[in-house]
């Protein structure tokens, strides 16, 4: 694993190190032994501004993609990106995920116009979505030709827990230690230490 990384040699080293493991999750401990963690052979890395730290884990089928004018994707120490998750930047968007945060399978983190920042120690359940942009809705113009807009991106604080299928939209801040229940659609900011549920998400009590 000392050769593991984004280069062809690094990808080959990860593939060899992962042989014999029963599942993608079974390879998580391997990530602790390389300078840039573990990258699954089936992960699609189409991003020339991806920054990895020690003990990062990128699982099977993960897609990290940079569109035109997209900004960097930065993953801090011990960030886990599990199976079939997409990280996508374009048109000035950036993604930063801080240390010890785990993104479970089939999430989408798509950053255009505004940045997406997810803090330390967060637990993000499967099928969550983060979108730091919106499309215009000017009459007489086809949707595909509408301008993208942003209200400042998305900021998720430290030690936040998002349940299954939570959607976080542009312009939202979620405070430290907040919990958002499964299936919630977060359209406005949630204070720290609060529990929010529903569509649109609303605070129901403090932790």
- Whether 127 sits among the annotated catalytic residues: the reply is no
The region, left, alpha or beta by phi > 0 then psi within -120 to 50, assigned to residue 204 is alpha
Distance between CA 182 and CA 144 in Å, rounded? Answer: 31
Q: Both tokens of residue 36?
A: 């840039």
Report the 3 state secondary structure along 69-129: CCCCEEECCCCEECCCCEEEEECCCCEEECCCCEECCCCEEEEECCCEEECCCCEECCCCE
Spatial neighbors of 192 by CB under 8 A, at least 6 apart, are 157, 175, 176, 177, 178
- The distance between the two most distant Cα atoms of the chain, rounded to a whole number of Å, is 57
Given the residues 80, 82, 88, 135, select the one marked as catalytic: 135
As annotated, the active-site residues are 135
């Amino acid at each position: 694993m000392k050769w593991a990384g984004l280069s062809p040699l690094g990808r080959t080293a990860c593939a060899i190190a992962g042989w014999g493991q029963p599942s993608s999750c079974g390879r998580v401990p391997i990530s602790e032994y390389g300078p840039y963690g573990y990258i699954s052979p089936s992960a699609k890395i189409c991003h020339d501004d991806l920054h990895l730290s020690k003990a990062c884990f990128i699982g099977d089928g993960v897609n990290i993609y940079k569109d035109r004018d997209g900004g960097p994707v930065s993953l801090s120490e011990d960030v886990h990106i599990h199976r079939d998750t997409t990280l996508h930047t374009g048109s000035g968007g950036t993604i930063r995920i801080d240390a010890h945060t785990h993104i479970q399978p089939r999430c989408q983190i798509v950053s255009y116009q505004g940045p997406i920042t997810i803090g330390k120690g967060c637990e993000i359940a499967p099928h969550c979505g983060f979108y730091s942009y919106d499309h215009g809705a000017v009459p007489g113009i086809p949707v595909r030709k509408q301008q993208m807009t942003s209200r400042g991106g998305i900021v998720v604080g430290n030690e936040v827990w998002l349940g299954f299928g939570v959607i976080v939209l542009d312009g939202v801040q979620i405070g430290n230690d907040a919990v958002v229940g499964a299936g919630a659609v977060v359209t406005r900011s949630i204070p720290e230490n609060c529990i929010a549920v529903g569509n649109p998400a609303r605070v129901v009590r403090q932790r």
